A and B are shown apart, each in its own frame.
Chain A
């Protein structure tokens, strides 16, 4: 076989080599916390790695649901996530209602942002809404003082549309490469006025901006909905097919940031000792994922029982230590819902 048949010029294009998507869980497959939740405040609600970042004016006014309304997803996808406005709220002043993924800085260091060698990125996604018009999209750096704001247009209501946005890398600004936030990929739905909005589009600028002036504010329309899947951010000026990872790979990537063990009605941790005398201490280690983003992760354990002198500590080498100052007699701990939060 001629060499040209094996190694074509197309195959030499950078986008065709290796792992491409900087987004984790872009196909919205994993939702360890819940599949539906009220957006009661800023926080991670349903699909892994996607943060709802909202002003308190919008607390408990919307719902976030994996596979909202059981729609047929776009071709080659099985899942999506949807936002629904349950109570309309006027967006006035310096407010915001954002759906975003914060990419860890260690995962974008190769982009060389903040230098003259900054690489171009292409963002692609499938989106659908009950509303039409120009919606806000932003890339922002970790320290939140550099923003690139643009819009994408949804031309037909209730129809999946694929959008592609190409953005030249930022050649200035402070772009960190630690385990904090490196690049925020933001979809704005309520900040088209006030401090967080801008009419300066399609170029990098100073400040934290998450909305294009005059863009759609779905927070103001009761029962409005917005759905997304297939989010991909890749190096280069060309959008390639969505990179579908194996289930296990994607799960592992998600679990660097959040891990949960929950089997309805079953103990995921059970530990019991009987002491003849008070004042004894015990430490037992249970397995947990190694290499989560931070060693100082929060451990949430429910229910726990027997006494107040119990603590849970995560260790990046892959354990949870349970310390207990025991009381005289029977001492036991159990948990049916155990999670470790190392999110950004």
Chain B
């Protein structure tokens, strides 16, 4: 019998002595848990019920319609969904290799003395408030893109439709880059933890067999942590999809098909941020809640998926160890 259980049974034996403190703590702490559950439940209820007028009027057609017109009271989210996907996936495409490389650097390649400071700097990058990043995006990044980067891309890669528009300070490319800066620290710190968790014997074994460091990484470390990396990428994706503020500041607010990265577009979260305070009709407000429902579904599904992957790894590691 553990000490705890023994003590408990002794306590029970002392009949007539109510353990008021324990009951109070259990009620309080359990109440806190129920409060959190209630808050999440209320969140879903409130968002869905406010979205209901729009959901019942437009149904699944909301996801395929491209019209967003407050005059005719017709709303559809297709261009916004496309804009969200384009900016988030492009940001992921740049951020994930960068972040994994940083994770490798911090766990394997960096001299020991540098690991803590550079690790700290990567985490500080995550701590930058998104509104500050947006401010930087408008005033520093935007003009840079408009006068140097985009014209260069247009001159050299203009045959690709993505780089075919007219250079502009605000637009999808600005949003992509700002999102990249946000995703990198998340994925980097998770990959660093993952690489550090690879059992030393496996790494040493590969090196002892004559593999170069890169071969060891590619052949041993990455396969070991691949599931975790997938989870990290999913979390990065969820972050990018959910970012409203910085994207709203730089994306140019247009309900248009995202055909060129130089053009303006709309992303769901940013659309809510710019339109919500000034909706002209109640159906418009309801449609913005509908966007919030879509965002909630995406974030919950992605997070849940990432959590399940993490749990499965944990279980596998548990049995292996």
B partners with A: no
Where the two chains meet, the residues of A that have a C-beta atom closer than 8 Å to any C-beta of B are none
**Interface residue ranges, B against A (CB under 8 Å):** none
